[in-house]
Structure 1
Amino acid sequence: MFNIDATLEYIESVKNTFLSSTDSREISARIMSIKKKRKDSKLYLAVIGEFSSGKSTFINALLGFRLLKDAVMPTTACATYIESHARFLAIEIVFNDGSKFKCSESNFDAIREYILAKYSINCIDIHQVITVVTSDQKVARCVSKMNIKVPGNRIPKNIVIIDTPGFNPGSSSVDNHQEITKDVVENIADAAIILTPQEQAMSATLSRFLKANLKRCLHRCTYVVTKFDLPADDTTRNEILDYARQRIEVDLGISNPRLYGLSAATMLPVKRVPLGKEYIWPILQNIFANFMKMSWTQLQSSKEYVLS
């Protein structure tokens, strides 16, 4: 790995001599972006997936409670930034019309009145506000920026989870979701987790999206087959993982991908373990917990590599 500071200093010293004014301005902007990222002590982990890949459940499992609700249709047209270790649940939201709100569990009247007046939806608490702005299609697609701070310490204090917009191949409802996801992975995230559901592991549409938009970032992504409690037996689970690994290697050209089969549902409170899952449930819980520990460790060491 090369010396980032020395490299930036060298580029700055020669860009005006060897580059056009337009290229020089573009390089200057890129240098400023890198310097800004170096000063940011936070580590950014993007979570990517097609619609119905289990993205909301997966993020809820990382947090240890149900924050995000599964949507019936692709909704949020912006990336959502989630941090933990807050004293109380709080959100910052910017809508496409320029309306801005900062609210908490004890102070959400302004955004409640805004949503009621504009969309005729009454939110009785901040949890319903989050549900509406992330899973109600007519509201969520009008959100341009959202940050959520949650209590709890399941994820390290300096790590930010980025929930990227889910995309539904062939649907006009996703607007610019793919471009937003691409920008997050290329310019903001220090690492990314790509989710693919076990019933359609590494689908052709997902592979096409990844190759077309994230090709130069795929080597630093982790791949997760979700809903891994649903296959009937261990043999089927192993077959699904083998198939997903083959598709990643052949379709994406990634040798020895970091691939895991996980069940986020096992990490969330349930009244009772589903019938017939009593044996596999604690095993999948342990696998997910180990995956989390490993992910935080890997993320800590990835930032300098990404900048390089």
Structure 2
Amino acid sequence: MGRKTVLDGAAGTWAPAVGEHLKWIRDVLGELDLPAARRDKLWSALRTVQTRADDPELRIAVFGEASSGKSTLLNAFLRRRLLPSSARVTTTVTTVLRHHEGTEGLRLRTADGTGLDWPSAAFDQWADGRQPPSAGTLSTGTPSADTLEAALARVLTTDLALAVRDLEVRSPVRPLGDGVAVLDTPGFSVTDPGHREMAEAAVGRADLAVVVVPAVAAMSMTLADFLTGPLLGHHDRCVFVLTKIDLVDEGERNATVAFVADRLRSIGIADPLLLPCAPGRALREAEAPDRGSGAAVDHPGHLARFRAVEQRLVRLAAERREAAIAATVLTLLSQLLAAVEETADAQRAEHGRAGRGLAALSLPDFPGFLDTWTRRVVDRVNTGTRVAATSAPVGSGRSGLDEKVVAAVADNKIDNIREAASEVSGIVGRHLRKEARKTARAAARQAGELLSAEAGELARDFAAQYGALAGLAGETPAAPVVPVTDLDLPEPDLSEVDAALTAVGTELISVGNWRTGGGAAAGAVIGSFIAPGIGTVIGGALGAMMGTRGRDTARAQFLEKARPVIATAYAEVDALHAVSLQRIAEAVEGSVAALRQKYEAGFSDEIARLTLANERQRAALAAAVAAAERTAAGARERREQVAVLRRRTSGTVHAPKEA
């Protein structure tokens, strides 16, 4: 026989280590900030490990395909046909067989949590489809007349099985030794919903696994799949019982055993313990004396061989008790540590994402935020203002003005030079002032619209950033009350226009041709009355033309002298328009500065407080990330320690040496 390392003595070699690991997990679960559902699941798993570590009962699960002979094997252990068995599927729920001194009975719990005992009137009511007792109660009462066999058949072979969650059979017979519970599992080859799932769930409860292999259909693909799947971690705790060996020709039995052993080795079970027997024949032999007169049984001897198999299993259960229980506990503990590691990794990732979000969305430099906005707004508004001004230049109505001037001296209007000069002066003054005001107001209006839009965008951006910062700082985000936009843009100042036109006129009339005595003086007086500043110059210049010349000549000379003056005035007004734009730009900067000051006065302290809270939150998240990393690393390290302990306490089941 190969290596055999059975755990010696009590659980002293592994229980202290398990206790220390569980204490560490308790401390970790107390520190991790977990969702309630996840936390409850981990605590439940921890209690499961602790409960199993404290329970000395050895649990042997019997696995096999449907109709492989599991129930017949168990009945042979009990020496009675207690569990229903037939060619059809019978086991639809995992049934636990436990020793109970002196009495026998059933205890079950339904899917809704109702507990029932047999024998009892409450069980009969439930089994007959009448009103069941209240959920969550264990009922006792008047015993029914049914036998235990009949009660089991009613539960396991009818639709009642679909409503059963747990089933325990109590018998005065000790199946496979003292302190042993035997689990009869559903056939894992059944296609009915839930059967394979229940068999797989029983694997986690099993300390030792008895795998039933029918000799007449040995080592199917379904069985191999179950061995390399759910039972993969139990190979060192598996015993294989080759049932129905009596149905194989006697000369082929050794070959069948060898074939099964080879197939088990091929799937990774190096030295399988394979026990051939005929449980059905053995049970019939055990029942033969009760049939009267010692009735003979065909081919006797199966009972003796079965008893040898049974004793082998009893010895194995006694020898392997501690090692098998240790394997179950350590497997459950390893799974729990893996869950803790996974949870810690998830926490680390979540806290890391939150920390990166804080770093990206916080406002640690509020003045810098406003500086950026200020520069952007001033540039955009000034650019838009210049575009608006140049799109409608002052000279756009020059041809219309010329037509008005010509009309003012048409026909005999030139005869009264003072009235003509007065009319022209008024036309030019009104036109130039109107054009200048129109252009300046267009620029100011555009500046105001752009500034209002930028102020609204600032309010939205600030509210979003403020809300994000408040939320990430651990406070309830609330929309801040942003300052009202207060724009203070000037009305167009045309004093420079008047001054420019006066200077132009003064320069032009300095030429001696314009001064003709009283005519110039009269024109100046009339011009100053109609259009102060502008009219004085133009009127004086035009008044000098009064004389005895012909109308056409006078008109031509009048227009010849007037047009250069008007053109010069246009040029001066165009040049002075830049001054108006500059004043608008200065007003924009003043409005932006005033709005910025309102933000700083209203929110600087609050932003500083939230920024500090944000920094504390980021520091807390960084600490949480580090703690989660330490927890995950600790869980991995402890899982490795558990794996070493699992190998050290294992006791692989091997085939006995040949005599």
TM-score band, normalised by the shorter chain? 0.7 to 0.9
**What is the CA-CA distance between 1:99 and the residue it aligns to?**
4.6
CA distance in structure 2 between the partners assigned to 1:211 and 1:68 by the alignment = 29
- Give the deviation of 1:242 after TM superposition: 1.0
Report the secondary structure of 1:167's partner residue: coil
The residue that corresponds to 1:242 in the other structure is 258
Identify if the C-alpha distance between structure 1 residues 213 and 52 changes in structure 2 by more than 3 Å, giving closer, same or farther.
same
* Residues 1:202 and 2:219 are matched in the alignment: yes
Q: For the residues of structure 1 that align with 2:320 and 2:82, how far apart are their CA atoms?
A: 23
| Greater Cα offset, 86-95 or 8-17 | 8-17
Q: Match for residue 189 of structure 2?
A: 168
Choose from 304, 308, 311 the match for 1:290: 311
Structure 2 residue aligned with 1:215, among 232, 250, 255? Answer: 232
1:182 aligns with 2:200: yes
Give the Cα separation in 2 of the matches to 1:141 and 1:32.
28
| 1:193 counterpart = 2:210 | yes
AA in 2 matched with 1:53: S
Which structure features the higher share of strand residues?
Answer: 1
Q: Any conservation in 2 of the 1:85–1:157 contact (CA below 8 Å)?
A: no
- Partner in structure 1 of residue 325 of structure 2: 303
1:139 correspondence with 2:139 = no
Cα displacement (A) at 1:123: 7.3
State the match for 1:60 in structure 2. Answer: 75
Q: 1:283 to 1:197 in 2, by over 3 A?
A: same
- Structure 1 residues 114 and 4 mapped into 2: Cα distance closer, same or farther (>3 Å)? closer
Higher relative contact order (CA 8 A, sep 6+): 1
1:150 offset after TM fit, Å?
0.8
Return the offset for 1:273. Answer: 5.5
| 1:28 to partner: Cα distance | 4.2
Summarize the Cα distance change of 1:154–1:25 in structure 2 as closer, same or farther, 3 Å threshold. closer
User: What is the DSSP-based 3-state SS (H/G/I as helix, E as strand, rest coil) of the residue aligned with 1:181?
Assistant: helix
Cα distance, 1:184 vs structure 2: 1.6
State the AA in 1 paired with 2:73: F
Q: Name the structure 1 match of 2:20.
A: 6
Deviations 1:211-267 (A, max 9, x none): 23232223321111111222221x41211111111111113x111112211222344
Q: 1:289 to 1:164 in 2, by over 3 A?
A: closer
TM-score, normalised via structure 1 length: 0.83
Map 1:247-286; keep pairs closer than 5 Å: 247-251=263-267, 253-268=268-283, 269-271=286-288, 272=295, 274-275=297-298, 277-278=299-300, 280-281=301-302, 283-286=304-307
Q: Distance in 1 between matches of 2:88 and 2:163?
A: 15
Partner deviation per Cα, 1:64-101 (whole Å, 9 max, x = no partner): 22211204432443211111133211111233455532
1:25 to partner: Cα distance: 6.1
Matches of 1:247 and 1:257 in 2, distance apart?
A: 10
Q: Which amino acid in 1 is paired with 2:100?
A: H
Which aligned pairs between 1:37-56 and structure 2 lie closer than 5 A? Answer: 37-56=52-71
Q: Displacement of 1:16 after TM fit?
A: 6.7
Structure 1 window deviating more from structure 2 (29-38 vs 284-293): it is 284-293
Decide whether the 8 Å contact of 1:64 with 1:154 is kept in 2: no
Q: For 1:133, what is the secondary structure of its paired residue?
A: helix
- Select the structure that is richer in helix: 2
Contact 1:191 1:220 in 2 (8 A): yes
**Alignment of structure 1 residues 85-100 onto 2, 5 Å:** 85-96=100-111, 99-100=114-115
1:299, CA displacement in angstroms?
Answer: 4.1
- Amino acid of the residue matched to residue 145 of structure 1? D
Give the alignment's Cα RMSD to 1 decimal. Answer: 2.8
Cα distance in 1 between the residues matched to 2:235 and 2:57:
22
In the aligned structure 2, how far is the partner of 1:20 from the partner of 1:246?
A: 52
The alignment partner of 1:93 has SS state of: strand
- Tell me if structure 2 keeps the 8 A contact 1:75–1:140: no
Contact between 1:190 and 1:299, CA under 8 Å: does it hold in 2?
no
Question: Is this contact kept in 1: 2:106–2:168, CA < 8 A?
Answer: yes
The residue identity in structure 1 corresponding to 2:164 is V
- Alignment correspondent of 1:36: 51
Q: Displacement of 1:126 after TM fit?
A: 3.5
Listed one character per residue, the Cα deviations across residues 251-289 of structure 1 (whole Å, up to 9, x for unaligned) are 3x11111221122234422335543x23x4255234223
Once residues 80 and 189 of structure 1 are traced to their aligned partners in structure 2, the CA distance between those partners, rounded to angstroms, is 13
Distance 1:123 1:54 in 2: 29
Unaligned regions of 5+ residues in structure 2, if any? 1-12, 131-143, 289-294, 331-659
- Extract unaligned runs of 5+ from structure 1: none
Structure 2 distance, partners of 1:45, 1:222, is 10
